[in-house]
């Protein structure tokens, strides 16, 4: 399977999952139908399914127009109110997209929203807004404990897993990561690499689980240097990784 980015709005990525052996694709989080239709018409690809991670408008806004034009099932979180979803999913489910020759395990990853799900298969994780490269989503609906647990599910995946998030936030996230860990060489190296990619107008997505474990402060709430920096920011002792995570999220919100 390969994943093709379709830029949308200011910084969104809509992902097209393609089996290179055919022209069939699945569309992940189409917040806007127009750039997707343009890409499909240009490349001769044929959509067979839509995969939704959560209910926010920049992820669901293009569903109706795409279904009207192409006709296909829409998979999405059963715990969220998304009227166009035809196949409701929950943590632990599995979907088989026969036209694509693809199978995905469904992971419940609440925090950004309460019903947020992710699609994992073929060494790829389509994670929506739960995790960004070197960052994580804001806690619009969930609690820190929920998001910390969700991120733990991601770090438990194989290190080579490719992470496909829905926004180009990487350089801003790395700027914050560098403030938390100014001596982290992996972060400094990733900043250099991602600046080069953006100068060429190339995506910084995907990253890998292994890279994230080295550079993402939200996955490093157990690391002594991160704990010390976060306690300094908070002005208090923090008792456990969830408390550290919550303070890192507050720090980033105000960075």
Q: Which residues are catalytic?
A: 54, 56, 58-59, 112, 129, 167
CA dist., res. 168 & res. 202, Å (int): 10
Q: Are strands 24-28 and 46-51 parallel, antiparallel or unpaired?
A: parallel
Cβ-based burial of 235 (10 A; exposed 0-12, middle 13-18, buried ≥19): exposed
SS3 71: coil
Contact 42, 55 (CB under 8 A): no
Q: Which two tokens stand for residue 33?
A: 């139908």
Contact 20, 42 (CB under 8 A): no
Contact 119, 104 (CB under 8 A): yes
Task: For residue 251, give the nearest of 230, 236, 235 by alpha carbon.
Answer: 230
SS3 124: strand
CA dist., res. 130 & res. 236, Å (int): 27
How is 156-204 classified by DSSP, letter by letter?
Answer: TS-TT-EEEESB--HHHHHHHHHHH-TT-HHHHHHHHHHHHHHHTT---
């Amino acid at each position: 399977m390969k994943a093709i980015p379709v830029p949308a709005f200011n910084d969104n990525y809509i992902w097209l999952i393609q089996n290179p052996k055919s022209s069939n694709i699945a569309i992940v989080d189409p917040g806007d139908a127009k750039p997707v239709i343009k890409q499909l018409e240009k490349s001769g690809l044929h959509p067979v399914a839509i995969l939704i991670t959560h209910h926010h408008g920049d992820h669901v806004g293009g569903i109706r127009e795409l279904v009207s034009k192409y006709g296909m099932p829409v998979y999405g979180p059963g715990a969220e109110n998304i009227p166009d979803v035809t196949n409701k999913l929950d943590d632990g489910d599995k979907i088989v997209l026969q036209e694509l020759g693809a199978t995905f395990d469904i992971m419940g990853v609440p925090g950004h929203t309460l019903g947020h799900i992710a699609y994992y298969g073929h060494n790829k994780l389509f994670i929506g807004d739960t995790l960004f490269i070197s960052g994580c989503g804001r806690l619009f609906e969930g609690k820190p404990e929920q998001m910390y647990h969700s991120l733990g599910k991601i770090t438990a995946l194989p290190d080579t897993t490719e992470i496909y998030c829905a926004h180009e936030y990487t350089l801003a996230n790395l700027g914050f990561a560098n403030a938390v860990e100014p001596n982290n060489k992996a972060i400094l190296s990733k900043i250099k690499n991602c600046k080069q990619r953006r100068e060429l107008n190339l995506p910084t997505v995907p990253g890998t689980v292994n890279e994230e474990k080295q550079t993402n402060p939200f996955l490093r709430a157990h690391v002594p240097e991160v704990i010390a920096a976060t306690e300094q920011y908070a002005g208090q002792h923090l008792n456990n990784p969830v408390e550290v995570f919550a303070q890192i999220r507050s720090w980033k919100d105000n960075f």
